[in-house]
A and B are shown apart, each in its own frame.
Chain A
């Protein structure tokens, strides 16, 4: 592998990915606009920061409880298992996108550098992305354990090495699975559909399986008894960790002292290095062939029936919505990200409830118990169902990246003789259909699994159906005003798009503003439920009605402001 070409390419890729040159130029050309960009960055950092602070607090609380019975090393064990498993699963999707579906894949393949070098550059890029994402998830775990066990400077140095290996190991393992898979994928005619369906099934299966197992386990022993039981089964953790060798090596390196810890650390580094070497070697053999295989596609040569229904006329807004739906569902990365929230979450809820209840997950258990307790009061149940639907609606990628996903094709939006507002309405309609579909599925899954009263479900929908309009509009409006149109692969357009986070935070704030005061008024101030529902419905219906002209104005402003 040519190291200077590797460094040059990596630097170029990171500049492109992080828009470093664009930021520099903007700072040079528009020095007075820096505060706007800084404010947006700070807002996103605050949102992510508050979520990770909450997570850190949860880890700390759990750590103290476990430390009281001397089993605090469960914390790094669980952290490493969760970190490595999620990197393995999410990494596979990310790698496929970065390695094979990037727009620059063909151009890089044509450069006079080896396939191994291109692969190494791409996987390094994925590694850096995963490293940044894992900081708020893994470092609270390492720090909490370090504080509880009184770890010194050496512990934190070991933690850095374990953290890096905990990412590189599953990522290279993903690469070793992905490389032959993508090379063979040329044999499948409908590989996009296979990727979407396979991905969704894998996601549902993984999460539902994990929750089902934990619910089975916890149904045997719970609460304080569970803690005492765990304390008496220290050897069980060792067996679990040993079943996943990298986790075992990392755990021992972190929890032991002295030379033995360093031995495990060396072992972890050796395994990590060996896997990386294997992946780089394999990439030299089949990576570029896999890249070229992606450009081969099945051509349907069946004749068009020029007298049939193929030429049905539609209104521009409907045509725009249908185009949006087709492009989203047929692009694996978009389909996975949009459908996972809207469809997979309700389906998972149903699977878990039917498989054995929610006792394995304390938060879910608390939520379910609240729903069951309040189910005698359909009014309160309705509010909780509305809250649940809205929270899922707040994560609607179809809305929060609707314009960004257009990429360079956005130029067409300005050529078409259709008002920008109408075009935005087409996008809103598609995002709303998904949101309402998710909402219906949640209501149905709660009805089937928990036998919640039908009145409660209807009341919940009465609030959440109109509320979903401003919530979705808010997310779409943010993407219209600051779209991310320059990207090299579809993952970048969706997952590395700050608009998703900003849209989610804004929508969550709206949902909280609607639901929290209503619950307080109903339970604490004993205000009539009918009055609260009437006010909520009226406010949300008014906001929904106001959303349409607001979106049109926003589209007029946003679409005209973009220079392509």
Chain B
């Protein structure tokens, strides 16, 4: 469903190599978690997949469509939830969702049905008539989630989706991710919450300094260490030590 082949990206403004020769193959029907320390290149990778940034080298294929050859067809296949809480503050929730439906070519009948189902699932239907400016952080996140799902994308990409959500909403999101995959679609998300990654993901990729240092199922990542937590594996692989004395 998603294939990255030796993708590299250097920011022109800072001269920093944010993503370095990244190759990855995400299969249909799986939940793929993308983890890594701050500044590892997770958001940059997601921006490259969604077309916000263009890679300097390598290719990205979404659902069999190379994004550099046919960006419109490739983008139609994905739904994106950004990490920032930026939103069109002066639109109502419903206007925003209608706008997204127009952009993805969702028919009138389908949009009414999907908006209703998703807004009820995320408990936002009562607020859709209100202007986004008046939404809380969590409500904005829920709106972004619905906006990314209204066209039922084969590939759902989420950048730090749990940030700002209450436990109930986190539970709903996790169920939604599973349900989306069960319908034959793919979920690709980045997170810092290792517990979520551990419980939810079919496979996990660990990124450090723009390079993919490990990828596989949790068992494969443990590589024989029976019962080791993802946190322990993560800290070992990224060379970060939480052990030792912490002297003030």
* A contacts, CB < 8 Å to B: 25-26, 29-30, 192, 297-304, 306-307, 310-316, 318-319, 323, 326-327, 330-331, 408-409, 411, 414-419, 560, 563-564
> Is the CB–CB distance between A417 and B75 below 8 Å?
yes
Contacts known (A300-B92, A311-B112); A316 close to B129, Cβ less than 8 A: no
Q: 14 more A-B contacts (CB under 8 A) besides A29-B15, A315-B102?
A: A25-B13, A29-B13, A29-B14, A301-B129, A307-B112, A311-B101, A313-B111, A326-B91, A409-B88, A411-B47, A415-B51, A415-B52, A564-B52, A564-B53
Contact of A313 among B84, B94, B107 (CB under 8 A): B107
Residues of A within 8 A of B50 (CB): 414-415
Residues of A within 8 A of B88 (CB): 323, 327, 409
Contact of B13 among A26, A299, A304 (CB under 8 A): A26
Interface residue B72 (Cβ < 8 Å from any Cβ of A) = yes
Residues of A within 8 A of B15 (CB): 29
> Is the CB–CB distance between A300 and B91 below 8 Å?
no
Q: Compute how far the CA of A313 lies from the CA of B114 in the bound complex, rounded to whole angstroms.
A: 14
Interface residue B121 (Cβ < 8 Å from any Cβ of A) = no
Selected A-B contacts with CB under 8 Å, 30 pairs: A29-B14, A297-B133, A299-B130, A299-B131, A301-B129, A302-B129, A303-B125, A303-B126, A304-B94, A306-B116, A310-B98, A311-B98, A311-B101, A313-B102, A313-B107, A316-B102, A319-B98, A319-B102, A323-B95, A331-B90, A408-B86, A409-B86, A414-B50, A414-B52, A415-B50, A415-B75, A417-B73, A563-B11, A563-B12, A563-B53
Interface residue B80 (Cβ < 8 Å from any Cβ of A) = yes
Residues of B within 8 A of A302 (CB): 129
Residues of A within 8 A of B95 (CB): 323, 326
> Is the CB–CB distance between B127 and A301 below 8 Å?
yes
Q: Compute how far the CA of A415 lies from the CA of B49 in the bound complex, rounded to whole angstroms.
A: 9
Q: Compute how far the CA of A5 lies from the CA of B71 in the bound complex, rounded to whole angstroms.
A: 49
* B contacts, CB < 8 Å to A: 11-15, 47, 50-54, 71-73, 75-76, 80, 82, 84, 86-88, 90-92, 94-95, 98-99, 101-108, 111-113, 115-116, 119, 125-131, 133-134
Contacts known (A301-B126, A313-B101, A327-B91); A560 close to B54, Cβ less than 8 A: yes
Closest Cβ of chain B to A5, distance in Å, is 27
Closest Cβ of chain A to B168, distance in Å, is 20
Contact of B129 among A25, A303, A411, A414 (CB under 8 A): A303
> Is the CB–CB distance between B128 and A304 below 8 Å?
yes
> Is the CB–CB distance between B103 and A417 below 8 Å?
yes
Contacts known (A326-B90, A408-B86, A416-B75); A304 close to B125, Cβ less than 8 A: yes
Contacts known (A299-B134, A313-B111); A323 close to B99, Cβ less than 8 A: yes
Q: Compute how far the CA of A313 lies from the CA of B111 in the bound complex, rounded to whole angstroms.
A: 9
- Looking across the interface, which residue of chain A has its beta carbon closest to that of B79? A415
Q: Compute how far the CA of A316 lies from the CA of B115 in the bound complex, rounded to whole angstroms.
A: 19
Q: Compute how far the CA of A306 lies from the CA of B84 in the bound complex, rounded to whole angstroms.
A: 29
> Is the CB–CB distance between B103 and A300 below 8 Å?
no
Q: Compute how far the CA of A64 lies from the CA of B119 in the bound complex, rounded to whole angstroms.
A: 72
Closest Cβ of chain B to A424, distance in Å, is 14
Residues of B within 8 A of A327 (CB): 88, 90-91
- Looking across the interface, which residue of chain A has its beta carbon closest to that of B92? A300
> Is the CB–CB distance between A415 and B80 below 8 Å?
yes
Contacts known (A327-B91, A563-B12); A408 close to B84, Cβ less than 8 A: yes
Residues of A within 8 A of B98 (CB): 310-312, 319
Residues of A within 8 A of B13 (CB): 25-26, 29, 563
Q: Compute how far the CA of A300 lies from the CA of B92 in the bound complex, rounded to whole angstroms.
A: 9
Residues of B within 8 A of A313 (CB): 101-102, 106-108, 111
Closest Cβ of chain A to B84, distance in Å, is 7
- Looking across the interface, which residue of chain A has its beta carbon closest to that of B106? A313
Q: Compute how far the CA of A300 lies from the CA of B116 in the bound complex, rounded to whole angstroms.
A: 17
> Is the CB–CB distance between B103 and A418 below 8 Å?
yes
Residues of A within 8 A of B99 (CB): 319, 323
Closest Cβ of chain A to B125, distance in Å, is 7
- Looking across the interface, which residue of chain B has its beta carbon closest to that of A423? B103
Residues of A within 8 A of B134 (CB): 297-299
Contacts known (A29-B14, A323-B99); A311 close to B111, Cβ less than 8 A: yes
> Is the CB–CB distance between B111 and A319 below 8 Å?
no
Residues of A within 8 A of B105 (CB): 316
- What are the 8 closest A-B residue pairs judged by CB atoms, nearest first? A319-B102, A417-B75, A297-B134, A330-B90, A417-B76, A311-B112, A300-B130, A306-B116
Residues of A within 8 A of B101 (CB): 311, 313
Residues of A within 8 A of B82 (CB): 411
- Looking across the interface, which residue of chain B has its beta carbon closest to that of A298? B134
Closest Cβ of chain A to B105, distance in Å, is 8
Residues of A within 8 A of B86 (CB): 408-409
- Looking across the interface, which residue of chain B has its beta carbon closest to that of A323? B99
Closest Cβ of chain B to A73, distance in Å, is 49
Residues of B within 8 A of A26 (CB): 13
Q: Compute how far the CA of A310 lies from the CA of B112 in the bound complex, rounded to whole angstroms.
A: 8
Residues of A within 8 A of B91 (CB): 323, 326-327
Q: Compute how far the CA of A289 lies from the CA of B116 in the bound complex, rounded to whole angstroms.
A: 38
Q: Compute how far the CA of A29 lies from the CA of B14 in the bound complex, rounded to whole angstroms.
A: 7
Closest Cβ of chain B to A435, distance in Å, is 22
Residues of B within 8 A of A411 (CB): 47, 52, 82
From B11, B82, B87, B103, residue with most partner A Cβ within 10 Å: B103
Closest Cβ of chain A to B87, distance in Å, is 8
Contact of A297 among B53, B94, B126, B131 (CB under 8 A): B131
> Is the CB–CB distance between A414 and B51 below 8 Å?
yes
Closest Cβ of chain B to A251, distance in Å, is 45
> Is the CB–CB distance between A299 and B112 below 8 Å?
no
Residues of A within 8 A of B130 (CB): 299-301
- Looking across the interface, which residue of chain B has its beta carbon closest to that of A296? B134
Q: Compute how far the CA of A301 lies from the CA of B131 in the bound complex, rounded to whole angstroms.
A: 10
Q: Compute how far the CA of A306 lies from the CA of B94 in the bound complex, rounded to whole angstroms.
A: 10
Q: Compute how far the CA of A310 lies from the CA of B51 in the bound complex, rounded to whole angstroms.
A: 30
Closest Cβ of chain A to B123, distance in Å, is 13
Residues of B within 8 A of A314 (CB): 102
Contacts known (A415-B52, A416-B103, A563-B53); A299 close to B11, Cβ less than 8 A: no
> Is the CB–CB distance between B112 and A306 below 8 Å?
yes
Contacts known (A316-B102, A316-B103, A417-B72); A311 close to B52, Cβ less than 8 A: no
Residues of A within 8 A of B129 (CB): 300-304
> Is the CB–CB distance between B131 and A300 below 8 Å?
yes
Residues of B within 8 A of A415 (CB): 50-52, 75, 80
Q: Compute how far the CA of A26 lies from the CA of B47 in the bound complex, rounded to whole angstroms.
A: 23
Residues of A within 8 A of B53 (CB): 563-564
Closest Cβ of chain B to A316, distance in Å, is 6
